[in-house]
C-alpha cells in the first residue's frame, strides 16, 4: 500500500506541474500577471517553467524521484511564499485554485521525500568526505 501512495504522490505532483507548463510557456494572461506582480516577467516565468518540467521528469523516474521531490518542494515553497506575501491566496478570482495546487504538490513532495529518506541518506553518506 505504501508503494501505491508513493506512486500516486509522485504522479499527482508531476501532473499538476506539467499541466501548468502550458500556461507558463504560452504566456497566458494569468501567468504574465503573476510573474509581473512579483517582478519576474518574462525570465522568471520561463525559468520556473523549465525547473517545473525538470522536477516533473525527475519525479516520474523511480531512481530520481527524491531529487524531483526536493526541487518541486523548493519551487512550491517559493510559490506559497509569493501567494502569502505579494499575490494573495486568490489570484484573478481563481478562488485560491493555484494556491491549493501548490499546497498539494508540497504535501506530495514531502511524502516522497519521507518515503525515499533511505535513498537520500545513502547518497549523503557517499558524498561525505
Task: Please name which of 112, 79, 91, 96 lies closest in space to residue 12, comparing C-alpha atoms.
Answer: 112
* pLDDT, tens digit, 9 for 90 and up, residues 46-90: 999 999 999 999 999 999 999 999 999 999 999 999 999 999 999
Average of per-residue pLDDT across 6-26? 97
Q: Grid coordinates standing for 69? A: 521531490
pTM: 0.93
Bigger pLDDT: 50 vs 2: 50
Residue 129: strand, helix, or coil: coil
Alpha helices (H) along the chain: 2-25, 29-37, 43-60, 65-82, 97-115, 117-127
* pLDDT, tens digit, 9 for 90 and up, residues 20-51: 999 999 999 999 999 999 999 999 999 999 99
Residue 1: strand, helix, or coil: coil
**Beta carbons of 55 and 72 less than 8 angstroms apart:** yes
Average of per-residue pLDDT across 99-127? 94
Amino acid at each position: 500500500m505504501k508503494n501505491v501512495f508513493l506512486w500516486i504522490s509522485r504522479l499527482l505532483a508531476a501532473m499538476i506541474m506539467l499541466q501548468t507548463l502550458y500556461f507558463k510557456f504560452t504566456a497566458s494572461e494569468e501567468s504574465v500577471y503573476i510573474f509581473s506582480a512579483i517582478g519576474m516577467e518574462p525570465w522568471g516565468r520561463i525559468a520556473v517553467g523549465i525547473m517545473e518540467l525538470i522536477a516533473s521528469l525527475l519525479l516520474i523516474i523511480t531512481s530520481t524521484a527524491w531529487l524531483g521531490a526536493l526541487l518541486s518542494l523548493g519551487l512550491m515553497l517559493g510559490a506559497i511564499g509569493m501567494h502569502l506575501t505579494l499575490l494573495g491566496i486568490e489570484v484573478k478570482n481563481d478562488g485560491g485554485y493555484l494556491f491549493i495546487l501548490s499546497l498539494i504538490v508540497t504535501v506530495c513532495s514531502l511524502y516522497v521525500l519521507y518515503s525515499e529518506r533511505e535513498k537520500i541518506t545513502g547518497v549523503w553518506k557517499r558524498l561525505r568526505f
